[in-house]
Structure 1
């Protein structure tokens, strides 16, 4: 599903250059649940931005579902993001003046789906995450865990090839974090490919593979015995 070959990324600040990614090689097969770990400055956020087509590497190649991701203008990049990727953010990134239903339906609007079908699909995914009764509530009427469930429903609404989750439990308490991970594990069990950037070891243990970055290189990449979130909930 994802092939990363010899990826390099530097940022230039005046006369100085910061080499953030230093030859990353990284493949993800369809249906995997992978966590990417590393301390601040390790390169994990830069890698996630490149995977999410929000930034582009200086060298190397990135292929997503057999499509080379290179030299994209913003319109094509946005089109590919909408087609291939679903995003889950630590801060939820919901639109405060729109209902849960409208937030979930938003990616479908950009895909040109008619309103009736948007509403039906949005309700389906809200139901999937257990929030159908809250469909007409605004984000400020929802708990942190509910907001993240809305964000997950929104990420699923366009049926993306890959879900990219950036610290999806970072703003949640432990119990709610485990409930969200139970949901993410269930989505992965249904066959969805998911990558999670996290600094929390207990969250990483709930994935099936842990990739550790340090100073812009992968220092280890191991398949692990997955801990089910239901053991904590």
Structure 2
């Protein structure tokens, strides 16, 4: 599903250059649930941005579902993101003046789906995450856990090949974090490929494989015995 080969990325900082990724080799098979860990400055955010087509490596290759991701203009990148990827963010990134239903339907609007069809699909995904009764509520009327469930429904609505979750539990309390991870585990159980960036060890062990980054290199890549989230609630 994902094949990263000898990926390098540097950023200019004034007259200096900061070498952030220093030769990353990394692959993810279809249906895997993988966590990416690392301290601040390890390169995990840069790697996630490249995986999400929000940035591009200087050298190396990135192949996603058989498609080489390289030299994309913004329109091409947006099209590929919409086709291949769903995003879940720590800060939810919901539109404050739109209902939960409208937030979930938004990616489908950009896919050109007719209004009736996209509303039906959005409602189906809200039902999937247990929020059908909250479809008409604005984000400020929802709890943190509910907001993240709306964000997950939105990420799933366009039927992406891969979900990229950037600190999906970072703004939540422990109980709510585990409930969100239970939902992510259920989605993975259905066959969806998911990458979770986290700095929390307990959250990482709710995935099936932990990749540790340090100073722009993968220092460890280990399958783990998955802990089911609701066993900890």
**Are 1:80 and 2:83 an aligned pair?**
no
Is residue 2:106 matched to residue 1:96? no
Equivalent-residue separation in structure 2 for 1:72 and 1:150 (angstroms): 30
- Number of residue pairs matched? 233
1:170 pairs with 2:156: no
Q: Does 1:150 align with 2:186?
A: no
1:180 deviates by 0.1
Q: How does 1:1-233 map to 2 (within 5 A)?
A: 1-233=1-233
Q: For residues 72-93 of structure 1, what are the alpha-carbon distances to aligned partners after superposition, in whole Å with 9 as ceiling and x for unaligned?
A: 0000000000000000000000
TM-fit CA distance, 1:14: 1.8
Structure 1, gaps ≥5 residues long: none
**RMSD of aligned residue pairs (Cα, Å):** 0.3
Q: Give me the TM-score of the superposition, normalised by structure 1.
A: 1.00
User: Shift of the alpha carbon at 1:230?
Assistant: 1.5
SS in 1 for 2:54: coil
| Structure-2 separation of matches of 1:99 and 1:191 | 29
SS of residue paired to 1:9: strand
Alpha-carbon distance in 2 for matches of 1:230, 1:94? 26
**Deviation of the 1:42 alpha carbon:** 0.1
Question: Deviation of residue 169 (structure 1)?
Answer: 0.1
- Supply the distance in 2 between the matched residues of 1:98 and 1:69 (Cα, whole angstroms): 33
Instruction: Give per-residue Cα distances to partners, 1:44-95, cap 9 Å, x unaligned.
Output: 0000000000000000000000000000000000000000000000000000
> For the residues of structure 2 that align with 1:118 and 1:45, how far apart are their CA atoms?
31
Q: 3-state DSSP class of the match of 1:31?
A: coil
